[in-house]
Amino acid sequence: MSTDATTANSNFAILRECMSAPIILRAAPPDASSGGAGKKRTKHKPVSDPISVGNGDDAEELAEFIDYLSTELFSSLPPPLQTMSHSSPASLPTPNFPPTLLDTLESYSLVGSASSGTTLLQSILDEYVAAAQAPPPVWSHTRATECEICERDVPLTYHHLIPREVHKKVIKRGWHNEDMLGSVAWLCRPCHSMVHRIATNEELARSFHTVELLVEREDVKKWATWVGRQKWGVRRG
């Protein structure tokens, strides 16, 4: 496999992880009362609160749907965006989002209009570009091989266990010693997004400043069980 092909496969996995968190959070259960004429029914089983989901079939079908959306988006990107890395030039081509992908997002009630679909895809793309172009972090020697919450072998991001936005307050109030400020956990993007959804930066800094404290939470345990069922093998074709 060529270097470009290897990078593209790796970048596809990054894009799919960027896609997964917003789609999981936007998904909603089908309304049993809305099955009348003219209503489009979803063929997957979306969820309103991923942390409370316990059905493995839901997770598998949602994972396949996210995989489809990611493949459609990635395939539409110009080659320089597919094979980009931290050494790529700052100026990159602007993609055109496929109308079929925008139609799918709207049909599945994930967005209210084509314009809001464009906004969603642009935010996913911005996150992907930032992740694909990010240089190796200074904490690379501590890097885990699996997400420290869901234990999936997927692309990882680093989560500041003591968020940088509250470092000054942490030191001023004596919550932790200064040598703890650089502590990080290696998390997949869905788990990273989930952590910031369940607690404020101050709460994370004071009460959940280690992986062990995070995974003791009941909602985090339920989330890890649910998201851990999803299969994330690279399937480009």
CA distance 19 to 69: 8
pLDDT at 41 exceeding the cut of 50: no
Task: Spell out the domain ranges in the chain.
Answer: 3-133, 140-227
Q: Exposure pattern of 120-141 as b/e (b: 16+ CB <10 Å)? A: bbeebbebbbebbeeeeeeeee
Q: Render pLDDT for 159-191 as a digit per residue (tens, 0 to 9).
A: 889 988 899 999 999 999 887 888 888 998 889
At 4 the pLDDT is 61
- Does the predicted TM-score (pTM) go above 0.75? no
Q: What percentage of the chain exceeds 70 in pLDDT? A: 76
The encoded tokens of residue 60 equal: 């598998």
